[in-house]
């Protein structure tokens, strides 16, 4: 009997470990769900209560929130399915669920690199246990994992050459949060090099228009629905909102002067990225796609003003995938996720562990490393499953 049990455990050790990891990730999130963060108390909570008081879908005709309708639909669905559930749990329900959906796409992306072996599900677990991923959804109640899941799906579908699904996924992502636009320079490269048809880009605004139809049909004016992101952009007047980027070193007193200059700088960096990246080899190789996507989503929030601490979230997740593709860069997700974590603590816990101006230097180091990697052209063109010059994870 003991020999049989041992043999079973040996045969299914990976599955048992994966199941245990998923269970622990879920339990960890469950312990954090009761926390009512500032954003839930001041924003998401009142929005949810407004939805409940106005009959669910009927609330959508009012301009009571500065998020896009697709996010509010999730709150409406939660209020309809779990009408007696405490608001703090209902608000976090979908973000926490998307943690696991995102982990699945991470698994699928890394599986393209390692068709066999444990690396893909280890990557998925690494994302589930990343501190900022845990804090963002189950503690903070934020939605960054939702749009990031759309970006991961976009990259995955591009890697398997399902362009229509990829652009639909990107459209869904940008319909949730405008920060999904950090991936636009990456898509611009693919369109410029005719790897993706420019006609498929039309799917992005089409997806948004389709998604706002329920709110429009509920009675909300179309112009309000089209101006949500414009209204968001005028909410705060600060060069940086705890984001560890270059604006930590500049005085906010010069906001009126430095904001437009910063936008021009960000556009210039994006153009430089497009120019350099367009010289790469096989742009549709999964390794190339992951690399270019990571660089796109880290340079944009670094050089763009008015960024929040959470806006490097997609870079946090993609850096983990990148490290599995190129293990010699194992330290990059440690640096990138570490910077994000210590940036979070300033707002979530009102405790400064590392000053933001120093975190901005660390993030600059990661940007320089990645941009140097991009400019060198090293290891970008290769076939799926190829190894770079560094030691790699075993596939078997």
Domain boundaries defined on the chain: 18-376
In the block, residue with structure tokens 């992951």: 290
Model pLDDT, residue 98 = 98
- 218 Cβ contact partners less than 8 Å away, ≥ 6 residues apart: 57, 58, 60, 61
Lowest-confidence pick of 28-42, 134-148, 185-199, 279-293: 279-293
**Tens digit of each residue's pLDDT (9 = 90 or more) over 301-338:** 999 999 999 999 999 999 999 999 999 999 999 999 99
In the block, residue with structure tokens 């996924």: 169
φ, ψ dihedrals at 49, nearest 5°: -65, -35
Model pLDDT, residue 7 = 60
What mean pLDDT is reported for the chain?
A: 91
Lowest-confidence pick of 79-93, 222-236, 289-303: 222-236
Measured CA to CA, the distance from residue 322 to residue 288 in angstroms comes to: 10
Residue count (the chain): 396
The whole-number average pLDDT for the span 264-292 is 93
pLDDT at 373 over 90: no
Instruction: Report the share of the chain in percent with pLDDT over 70.
Output: 92
pLDDT at 91 over 80: yes
pLDDT at 383 over 60: no
The whole-number average pLDDT for the span 258-274 is 97
Model pLDDT, residue 391 = 36
pLDDT at 387 over 80: no
The whole-number average pLDDT for the span 247-255 is 95
pLDDT confidence of 395, banded at 50, 70, 90? Answer: very low
pLDDT at 3 over 70: no
Per-residue CA distances from 175 to 15, 52, 211, 293, 396 (Å): 36, 23, 8, 19, 40
Model pLDDT, residue 209 = 96
The whole-number average pLDDT for the span 68-84 is 95
Model pLDDT, residue 385 = 39
Tokens standing for residue 107: 């698994």
Lowest-confidence pick of 6-20, 96-110, 215-229, 283-297: 6-20
pLDDT at 388 over 50: no
The whole-number average pLDDT for the span 360-381 is 84
Cβ–Cβ < 8 Å for 208, 174: yes
Angle of helix 163-176 versus helix 203-218 axis, rounded to 10: 50
Model pLDDT, residue 273 = 96
pLDDT confidence of 233, banded at 50, 70, 90? Answer: confident
The whole-number average pLDDT for the span 178-192 is 97
| Residue 23 exposure: Cα atoms within 13 Å on the Cβ side | 6
Measured CA to CA, the distance from residue 180 to residue 186 in angstroms comes to: 11
pLDDT confidence of 280, banded at 50, 70, 90? Answer: confident
- 280 Cβ contact partners less than 8 Å away, ≥ 6 residues apart: 288, 292, 374, 377, 380, 381
Tokens standing for residue 112: 């393209």
Cβ–Cβ < 8 Å for 37, 347: no
pLDDT confidence of 5, banded at 50, 70, 90? Answer: low
């Amino acid at each position: 009997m003991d020999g049989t049990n041992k043999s079973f455990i040996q045969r299914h050790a990976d599955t048992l470990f994966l199941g245990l990891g998923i269970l622990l990730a879920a339990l960890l999130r469950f312990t954090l769900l009761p926390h009512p963060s500032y954003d839930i108390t001041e924003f998401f909570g009142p929005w949810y209560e407004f939805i409940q008081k106005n009959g669910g879908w009927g609330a959508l005709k009012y301009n009571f929130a500065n998020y896009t309708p697709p996010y509010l639909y999730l709150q409406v669905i939660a209020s309809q399915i779990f009408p007696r559930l405490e608001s703090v749990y209902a608000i976090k329900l979908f973000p926490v669920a998307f943690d696991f959906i995102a982990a699945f796409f991470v698994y699928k992306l890394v599986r393209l690199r390692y068709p066999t072996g444990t690396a893909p599900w280890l990557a998925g677990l690494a994302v589930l246990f990343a501190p900022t991923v845990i804090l963002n959804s189950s503690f903070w109640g934020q939605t960054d994992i939702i749009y990031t899941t759309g970006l991961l799906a976009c990259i995955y579908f591009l890697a398997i050459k399902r362009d229509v699904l990829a652009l639909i996924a990107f459209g869904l992502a940008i319909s949730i949060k405008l920060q999904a636009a950090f991936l636009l320079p990456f898509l611009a490269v693919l369109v410029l090099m005719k790897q993706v048809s420019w006609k498929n880009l039309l799917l992005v605004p089409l997806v948004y228009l389709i998604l706002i139809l329920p709110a429009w049909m509920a009675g909300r004016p179309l112009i309000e629905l089209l101006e949500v992101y414009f209204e968001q952009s005028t909410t705060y007047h600060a060069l940086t909102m705890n984001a560890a980027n270059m604006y930590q070193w500049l005085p906010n007193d010069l906001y009126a002067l430095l904001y437009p200059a910063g936008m021009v700088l960000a556009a210039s960096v994006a153009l430089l990225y497009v120019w350099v990246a367009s010289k790469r080899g096989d742009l549709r190789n999964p390794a190339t796609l992951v690399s270019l996507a990571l660089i796109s989503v880290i340079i944009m929030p670094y050089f763009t003003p008015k960024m929040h601490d959470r806006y490097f979230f997609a870079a946090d997740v993609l850096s983990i995938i990148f490290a599995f593709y190129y293990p010699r860069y194992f330290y990059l997700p440690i640096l990138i996720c570490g910077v994000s974590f210590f940036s979070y603590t300033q707002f979530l816990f009102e405790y400064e562990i590392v000053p933001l101006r120093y975190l901005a230097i660390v993030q600059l180091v990661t940007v320089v490393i990645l941009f140097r990697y991009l400019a060198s052209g090293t290891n970008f063109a290769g076939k799926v499953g190829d190894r770079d010059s560094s030691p790699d994870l075993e596939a078997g």
